Every structure is written in structure tokens, then in C-alpha cells.
Amino acid sequence: MSAELPQAVARFIERQGLTAPAMASVSFDPEFKLIGRNGALDQLGLASLSDAELEVLLRDVCLGLSKLHGAPIAEITLPNLTACELHLIAENDRFHTLILDRRDQVEGVRVLQQAAQENDLKAQDRAKQLRAARAAIKQLSQERDALKVELLRASARLSLLAFAPPEAPLRPDALKAKVLAVLAPLALRLHVRLEMTQAGASNAPLHELTAEMALGVPVFAIRQAMLRAKAGDTVRATIKCSADVLQVTVVDQAQALSESERRCIWESQAPEPAAGELALTLYALGSWCREGKGRVTVPQTNDSTITLIASVPREPEVTERIGPKRVSLHGQRIVILGEAEGWAERLVDAGAQVQSLALSESTIGVLVAEAPPAVLIRPGTAGALAKRLVFKLRAHGYAGVIIAISVNAPSGAAWWDHWLLEPLDLSALRQALPAPAEQK
């Protein structure tokens, strides 16, 4: 090995104005056989390599590169961790690889780049945490509103507790008297005047309504309007019994509903977090009415006065008492992943067609190919494995329903459709499963 670089290489360096703390060249014949090694290979950490090893190293690095291509390969770190710049220099039927030491330069860039990227990662982390915090706030707001709804319903029920439930069958005029009796103390305390009228000629007994619904719905609706009224206001309400419904109309002084809130009430969806009190009241009232197959309707209005109509149908289903029933999973095809611990027997007893598979990666192909309509997974102690498995199932296109069952609520991101609490409640499971008719 010579310390002197070949003349062609030296001329190239001069022509290009190249400088470096250390330079070396390795020369090859047209078949890429090493024919010479020159310069400061020791400073580049390459001196200890045999000719054969150096030949292989540079042949690998130059794989696919044109020997005639003049552009250097900048900032290249070789397998021995030497950072350099590589030039290919053609000379007649041979060519040279010129290796320039760029360790200092690369280290300088590395320090700056590392700092910039670490800052970038921190900023991304902060943005992610902020998104997570916002999502948590939204979730908490929804939970808070759900609790408010429960509170509204509970407080309306409490109002009823002060009175013995009316004896069925009620007549509309008796109902009106009962509602007035329940609400009179509140009206007195709030200094609000309550005007109730009974519309419709019929005074037929309300045979099919439960006492709680018949009394509770008007009390709930009117009470909330009274609570929002100012001292001295008059709250006007009408009770009407038509052919098949009990209809309560209340003029509420609360701020008018926005279009989106109005749509929520119509579509029986929970209003957005931070919705107005009126929206929450209507939602709570609506959910209570729906228990009796009734509904709340909010007619269009242009001012700040809302007229809401809560109706409870006089249909036999209102009073239908649903006793404890045996849950049927007849027609359901379910795959259980992981430990079943007696579930399989319960599901089979309930009429389901059950297949048990191990909680392992090898089941992914089977499930994607067979595409069962529903998969039950019990993450248990293998929570991370279960999550990864569910992710892969989804990422491979499995489109059925995935239900996780565990004793604790799972944390972090998860890609199952439903999470059910252990011990397994078959009626909750039935609700989570697709209808047998939807199963192929």
C-alpha cells in the first residue's frame, strides 16, 4: 500500500477542490477486482481489512452505482462506522474509489439534527397529550351530562314520592288534579304561577298507562319549566288525552334550542357536551318517555319560548311487564379466542354455535378466511397480546364483531367493538352480537 494517491485521483481532487482530514483510494479493474490501495486507510479505520475484505466492502457499497456517474455519495457511514464521502473515478479500463474522511462534519450535523428532531418529537408528544386531554374532557363532559340526566329523572321521581301513586285507572281530570297537587308546593316556593288546562272532550280512564308514566311525565316536564321560570312568571301547560296518547304541552321559557340540539331530541341522541339545560331536560324526558314507547317532540319556534310535547301512547306494551326470560342465542355463530372457562357451555346452552380457538397469531389467518360473524376475546393477563391480535385481525380486513370480556376496563387504544364486564351477562352479549339474520 502506498501513501501516495494515484495520479488520476490526485488530479480529480485538485480539479474538484476537495479537502478532508484523511483521504484514501482503492483501485479496481473492470471486473471489480482490487488492484491497488493507497492513502490514509489506517485513519479511516480500513487498514486492518484484507484486500479481499476491502474489495467486498466497496463492491457492496457501490452495488448498482454507475462507475461513470460523477456524483459523490455524501455522508455515507460504512459498516465499520466510518463516516465518509465516496467518489467513483473512471480511468481508462480501471476505476478508483476515493474515500474522504467526513467524521467531523457528520458528527457536527448529527448533534444539530439530533437536537432538532428530539425537539420535534417532544412537540409531537405534547400535541398528542393535548389531543388525549381534549378527548378525556369531552368524555368527562358526556359522563357529566349523563349524570345530570339521571339527576333530573331522579329528582322528578322524588317529587312523586311525596305522594302516594294514583290508583289506576286514572281519568284525565283526576290526573290533572294530581299533577297540580304534586307541583303546587314548588310553585308556591318559587313564586311561579302554574296554569294547567285539560284539552279534549274525552275523560275516558287511562287504563293502559302505568301510574308512574301517567303522572311522572307531566310532572317532569312542567317541573323543569317551573325551575327555569323567574319569580312572578306563569308556566302554562296542557294535558290532552286523544285517542291513543296522553299529550303534555308545556311552554318553557328557557333559551331556544339550536338546530343541532333539536335534531338530537328528534333523533333520540344524547345532546353534545355543554348543551343547554333545556336540551338535557328534553333528552332526559325523552329517554323516560321512550321506556314507555312514547316520545318528546319539539315544534319549530322562532322565539326563545319552546313548546314541548311529551306523549305517552295508550298501548298495551306500555304496561307489559317483562319477567326474567331465558336469553336465547339461537342462530348465533361465535368464535371464542383464548380461555373460555365455561363460557362455551353457557353459550351452547343458550343455542349458539360455538368454536374455540387459541389466543395466538396463527388464528388470524383462520379467522380472516372463515370470517365468523362474531369473535369473543378474553384479554385477561395476555392483554397486550389480545390487543395486538385484534389489531391484526382488523388490519387484515376481518369485519365481524369483536367483543372483549374482562374484569377490568381496558386501558389505551383498543380495536374491539364492545367491551363487556366479567362475569358474562348473556343479555348484554346478545345486544352486542349482530342479529342472526345479518350473519352469513
Partner 1 sequence: MIEKTRKICMLGDFAVGKTSLVARFVTHAFSDKYLTTVGVKIDTRLISIDEQSIKLVLWDIAGKNALDGVKLSYLRGAHGLILVADGTREATLKSALFLLNQARTEIGSVPAVLMANKFDRIDDWEITPNALTEVRKSLSVFESSASTGEGVDAAFSSLTRRVL
Q: Which residues bind partner 1 (CB under 8 A)?
A: 59-61, 63-66, 69, 71, 73-79, 83, 106, 109-110, 113-114, 117-118, 120-121, 124, 128, 384, 387-388, 391-397, 411-413, 415
CB of 392 to partner 1, least distance (A): 6
Residue (115 or 147) nearer to partner 1, CB: 115
In the complex, least distance from residue 426 CB atom to partner 1, rounded to whole angstroms? 28
Smallest gap from residue 79 Cβ to partner 1 (A): 6
In the complex, the smallest distance separating the C-beta of residue 56 from partner 1, rounded to whole angstroms, is 9
CB burial of 109-134 (b: ≥16 within 10 Å; e: otherwise) equals eeeeeeeeeeeeeeeeeeeeeeeeee
Nearer to partner 1, 410 or 436 (CB): 410
Smaller CB separation from partner 1, 109 or 140? 109
Smallest gap, in angstroms, from Cβ of residue 52 to partner 1? 14
The answer to whether 58 and 78 have CB atoms below 8 angstroms apart is: no
**Rounded alpha-carbon distances, angstroms, from residue 19 to 12, 85, 115:** 11, 11, 28
Q: Based on CB atoms, which residue is closest to partner 1, 327 or 364?
A: 364
CA gap 13, 98 in Å, rounded: 9
In this complex, which beta carbon is closest to partner 1, that of residue 66 or of residue 268?
A: 66
* Exposed e or buried b per residue across 204-239, where buried means at least 16 C-beta atoms within 10 angstroms of its C-beta: eebebbbbbbbbbbbbbbbbbbbbbbeeebebbbbb
Please name which of 431, 440, 439, 437 lies closest in space to residue 328, comparing C-alpha atoms: 431
Nearer to partner 1 among residue 64 and residue 316 (C-beta): 64
Exposure string for 398-407, b = 16+ CB within 10 A, e = fewer = bebbbbbbbe
Look at residues 152, 150, 151, 219 and name the one whose alpha carbon lies nearest to residue 186.
219
CB of 70 to partner 1, least distance (A): 11
